[in-house]
Amino acid sequence: MTDVQLVELTVNSERHELAIPPRRTLADVLRHDLGLTGTHVGCEHGICGACTVLVDGRPARACLLFAAQVENAEIRTVESLAGPDGELSDLQRCFGEHHGLQCGFCTPGFLMLAEGFLAEEPGATREEIREVVASNLCRCTGYQTVVDAVDDCASRRRASLQAALDTAGSTR
Amino acid sequence: MREPGFRTDGTWVGADVPRREDPRLLAGRGRFVDDITLPRMLHAAFVRSTEAHALLTSVDLSEVRGVPGVVAAFDAAGLGLADITALLDRPAEEFTPTSMPVLARDKVRYVGEPVAVVLATDPYAAEDGVEAAVVDYEPLDPVVTETAALAAAGAPVHDEAPGNVLVDVSLFATEGIDAVFDAAHTVVSVEARTGRQNALPLETRGVVADWDDRDEQLLVRTCTQVPHQVRTVLARCAGLDEKQVRVTVPDMGGGFGQKCVVGREEIAAAAAARRLRRPVKWIEDRREALTASFLAREQHYTARAAFDADGAILALEADVVCDMGAYSCYPFTAGIEPLMASAEMPGVYRVPAYRVRGRAVTTNKAPTAPYRGVSRPQYVMVMERLMERAARSLGLDALDVRRRNLITEFPYRGINNITYDPGSYLESLDLCERVLRDEGWHRHTEPGRVVGIGYSCFSERTGYGSGAFAQRKMQVVPGFDLSQITMDLDGTVSVTTGTLSHGQSHETTFAQIVADRLGVPYDKVKIVQGDTDRITYGWGSFASRSVTIGGSAASAAAVKLGDQLRALAAHLAGVDVDTCELDGRGGVRAADRTLPFTELAEVAYLRSHLLPKDVGPGLTATASFDVGGDGTFSNATHGCVVALDPGTGGVEILRYVCVEDCGVAIHPRVVEGQARGGIAQGIAGALFEEVLYDEAGQPLAPSFMEYKVPTAAEIPDVRIEHLETPCAFTANGAKGAGEGGTIGAPAAVLNAVNDALRGTGVELDSTPIPRHAIFAALAPHEEAS
Ligand code: FES
Ligand code: FES
């Protein structure tokens, strides 16, 4: 445990230099070295998804990665979702409106999972969303309202994109 | 479902207001226990028993202390703490007292039992330290099953209980019950086993403790549902005064009962912090949570019921054996499951004669704690199977048999000496059936799938007051709750509660209650929970008691404060207090003028010379509340449609409907969330989750690879319909909503599976429902067709 490695990480667009043991997981580094405690740890073996973050835009389990493995990647955590003034994103607001969280321990993982998924699949159906939501565990909600929240966020994003296209079309 | 948003009629109760908890939790800015880091903090890890049952011949920690990063290591003798002991006031033939040492001493009783604690500068080093411990055991024959426990062949789990029975009660035994069974037209029986389950909060247990020299106090931040209980046990174990311990509770990632008992690790870590005068953190890992935490639900029922030719139940008899594992939990004891089952099994039905024996046996498995629903998921399942059996054997419709027997006149005094307050037992069943029928569900087979519909009817006693807990004969009798309310000089309000939320939204719902009582905006009310220094005393959150009891106490405190405000306004306006009223918008109407709270509060704090002579400065009031009588009963009917896959024996839930009545719903969306989450846990127990051990007592499900927690792919959407029978003796008409979902689901799923299996000659009564049994039942059926 005494050998320490220099690792450079980019988290939420900020560059960090860390001297850490090579066995230190990304989850531990985010939480305990960088103080980004929004990423939670529920199992440390890749099943629960509470630790889900985005690595180069893709949802990944921070408990299964060593920080040293993701030196050249862009990492995003739940702390990046709200605006600089603290205003919650559309996705976060949808979770609140649908009561998609109770204790909130699983929530950052679901938010990052959905954030990554919707960026890739903005047209996802409710069934496809349910399938993706099934990658993480929640013990409180029974999942229905989590699916509702992600689905509603996707439809709202599609509607506002359509509205923007319509406006662009009509002004052209 | 109601639309989210604010009600416009000026009342907060009943409105789906945005949750106060949400902004921080959504932003990743909650503060869970593992988010807390203190300077010079050490990390604890536990050396745990690798044997299920053995004498502890030596614990050698010398190598541990040499591991880089390790600062200290203690075994039981090193920490020198008193044992944790939970007692019932019952005679020796009914209850055998046993103790749970904080760290195992002389003997280990389950795999995973803490034997020593290692403290290191980082958690990785602490785990390295654990690896270096050398523990010698002299193995004894493990007692792994309830059958082995009752056979009592080898060394007993506890010497005090040679027969491995910790609780043995025989109750009610209505006179003439044997004759009723002998003469009955029909007697049906059910033998059911229910699997051991883990309540499984997603956040595991954890603690951060440190000794504060300035306060001369051990400050323990721990994720518990019962902070005052932790304070008492820690003070007793460590020989401290209660005031030398402060327990606070940060945000909590669920509990479901697993955290409503005092854990050994939180005591050990706190004691180490005091000893070393350094902060100590312990965060349970998932393997520990799955194997060495508190478990629940492993029960065995042998039950029979007598019916007349019309399907009226005449008598019920049950023998209930609960496998409580290695230790009795504090404060509930090993009696928690058998006493609940024995007292309440008749449930929603008019049972004229009843006899029950309930036993708690001890085995070499991780100990148990109350888990959401406590025994009710099990006995409801057995009752509902008895109803179905009776219907089949009498050739009657199973819902009609239930209707024939449901309690419909209230208050109803049951054979179990419990008085049930009004509910909507029949109405909920009728509505549930109608909803499913209107949606077009009826039993049918479609190619490759076998479909069945199942129901469960139940009520759950919630808001147990001290009277109800006293019936259990616990030496520590939970029940009341206390609230203190204070208005600050700007008219904002803070309210303490001895209950505490771990997902149930108390910051929101309690604020709604108080806002209505005082007539202030809900965002001007702040809830203070989870701090033994700021809250005089409280029993915590369990048994769906928070809104019923804690909410009533908060309500009563608000009413008292309102009276003070009225009296002050009357004095200042020079009118009689009886003419003064709260105006519902932050002021008091006194004669022809309105005095805003801000003005009254300024007098109370800044111009106290204007106060009446006999009134002291400040605005604060305290009230307590205890549910009188036998508590209050929420009720529900669940309806479930399943499809069985003959190829695999798998069960898919096609539709799930819940008609629930929890009295006045303070926040309907929160109530629905409780119901849905509870149903998911009930389905988990019915179909997926089981904590299994091999014959040596080694746990077989140490990770999520083996312990199958259902995901969004397995848990269906649930349609919820509300009925509302307000409770007459809680302050807000609420009856409690925390557990019902979990209680009704196993029975509904099991009945649906049996409905689908109709015609195969197979009936299943145990959970988790074995896939292979469904496969086997359908296989010949398939060939025949
Ligand atoms: S903590 Fe990473 S998947 Fe559970
Ligand atoms: S909200 Fe508690 S685990 Fe999901």
Give pLDDT, residue A2: 58
Q: Is the pLDDT of residue B680 over 60?
A: yes
Cβ distance of A140 and B718 shorter than 8 Å: no
Give pLDDT, residue B463: 86
Give pLDDT, residue B290: 98
Q: Is the pLDDT of residue B321 over 70?
A: yes
Tell me the average pLDDT across B229-236: 98
Give pLDDT, residue B6: 36
Question: Closest partner residue to B286 among A21, A32, A44, by Cβ?
Answer: A44
Cα gap B123→A110, rounded to integer Å: 26
Torsion sign over Cα B438, B675, B340, B702: positive
Same domain, A57 and A128: no
Same domain, A93 and A161: yes
Amino acid at B388: E
Q: Is the pLDDT of residue B232 over 90?
A: yes
- Name the nearest CA neighbour of B678 among B329, B380, B341, B288: B380
Q: ipTM of the predicted structure?
A: 0.97
Residue A172 binned pLDDT confidence (cut-offs 50, 70, 90) = low
Cβ distance of B704 and A48 shorter than 8 Å: yes
Strands of B354-361's sheet in order across: B165-171, B354-361, B313-323, B299-307, B186-194
Q: Is B69 on the interface with A (CB under 8 A)?
A: yes
DSSP B536: S
Q: Is the pLDDT of residue B11 over 80?
A: yes
Same domain, A89 and A163: yes
SS3 A65: coil
Cβ distance of A104 and B21 shorter than 8 Å: yes
Final residue in a domain of this structure, among A23, A47, A80: A80
Write the CATH number for A123: 1.10.150.120
Amino acid at A91: L
Same domain, A99 and A32: no
Q: Is B35 on the interface with A (CB under 8 A)?
A: yes
Same domain, A75 and A90: no
| CB-CB neighbors (< 8 A) of A79 in chain B | 27-29
Closest-lying ligand to the alpha carbon of A52? 1
Nearest CA in chain A to B128: A1
Give pLDDT, residue B9: 53
- Name the nearest CA neighbour of B636 among B752, B754, B722, B540: B722
- pLDDT tens track for A111-169: 999 999 999 999 999 999 999 999 999 999 999 999 999 999 999 999 999 999 999 88
Same domain, A27 and A98: no
Cβ distance of B677 and A130 shorter than 8 Å: no
Cα gap B689→A139, rounded to integer Å: 13
Residue B458 region, left (φ>0) first, then alpha (ψ -120 to 50), else beta? Answer: beta
Write the CATH number for A58: 3.10.20.30
- The per-residue pLDDT of chain B, averaged, comes to 95
Closest-lying ligand to the alpha carbon of B712? 2
Residue B591 binned pLDDT confidence (cut-offs 50, 70, 90) = confident
B208 Cα–ligand 1 center, Å: 22
**Burial, B225: exposed, middle or buried (Cβ in 10 Å; 0-12, 13-18, 19+)?**
buried
Cis bond upstream, residue B702 (ω within 30) = no
Give pLDDT, residue B8: 43
Cα gap B322→B368, rounded to integer Å: 10
Answer whether A61 contacts ligand 1 (Cβ < 6 A): yes
| CB-CB neighbors (< 8 A) of A48 in chain B | 202, 286, 704
Pocket-testing residue among A26, A30, A37, A41, ligand 1, by greatest number of atoms within 8 A of Cβ: A41
Give pLDDT, residue B444: 65
> Which of B502, B676, B711, B715 has the highest number of chain A CBs within 10 A, making it the mutation to test binding with A?
B711
| pLDDT > 70 in chain B, percent | 97
Q: Is the pLDDT of residue A78 over 70?
A: yes
Final residue in a domain of this structure, among A62, A80, A98: A80
B283 Cα–ligand 1 center, Å: 14
- pLDDT tens track for B400-422: 999 999 999 999 999 999 999 99
| Pair of tokens at residue A166 | 């319509």
Neighbours of B709 (CB within 10 A): 20
**Which residues form the domain of A121?**
82-171
Final residue in a domain of this structure, among A46, A80, A114: A80
Give pLDDT, residue B103: 98
Q: Is A80 on the interface with B (CB under 8 A)?
A: no
Tell me the average pLDDT across B182-197: 98
Nearest CA in chain B to A50: B202
Same domain, A161 and A89: yes
Closest-lying ligand to the alpha carbon of B34? 1
Residue B467 binned pLDDT confidence (cut-offs 50, 70, 90) = confident
Residue with tokens 């309830």: B146
Residue B2 binned pLDDT confidence (cut-offs 50, 70, 90) = very low
| CB-CB neighbors (< 8 A) of B681 in chain A | 139
Give pLDDT, residue B7: 41
Question: Closest partner residue to B503 among A88, A103, A111, by Cβ?
Answer: A103
Cβ distance of A42 and B203 shorter than 8 Å: yes
Give pLDDT, residue A3: 85
Q: Is A150 on the interface with B (CB under 8 A)?
A: no
Tell me the average pLDDT across B149-153: 96
**Burial, B543: exposed, middle or buried (Cβ in 10 Å; 0-12, 13-18, 19+)?**
buried
Residue B3 binned pLDDT confidence (cut-offs 50, 70, 90) = very low
Closest-lying ligand to the alpha carbon of B286? 1
Residue B501: what are its φ and ψ, rounded to 5°?
Answer: -80, 135
Same domain, A42 and A53: yes
Q: Which atom of ligand 1 is nearest to the CA of A47?
A: 3
Same domain, A69 and A48: yes
| pLDDT > 90 in chain B, percent | 92
Answer whether A108 contacts ligand 1 (Cβ < 6 A): no
Q: Is the pLDDT of residue A18 over 80?
A: yes
Q: Which atom of ligand 1 is nearest to the CA of A51?
A: 2
Cβ distance of A106 and B253 shorter than 8 Å: yes
Same domain, A18 and A91: no
Cβ distance of A130 and B713 shorter than 8 Å: yes
Q: Is B465 on the interface with A (CB under 8 A)?
A: no
| Pair of tokens at residue A124 | 């996802």
The count of structural domains within chain A is 2
Contacts of B502 (CB under 8 A, 6+ apart): A103, B201, B223, B225, B252, B253, B254, B255, B259, B541
Same domain, A48 and A112: no
| CB-CB neighbors (< 8 A) of A33 in chain B | none
Q: Is the pLDDT of residue B430 over 80?
A: yes
Question: Closest partner residue to A1 among B30, B128, B203, by Cβ?
Answer: B128
- pLDDT tens track for B268-290: 999 999 999 999 999 999 999 99
Same domain, A91 and A149: yes
Nearest CA in chain A to B707: A47
Q: Is A33 on the interface with B (CB under 8 A)?
A: no
The enclosing H or E element of B450 equals strand B449-462
Instruction: Name residues 3-32 of chain B within 8 A of A (Cβ).
Output: 4, 18-19, 21-23, 25-32
Atom 3, ligand 1: residue with shortest CA distance:
A46
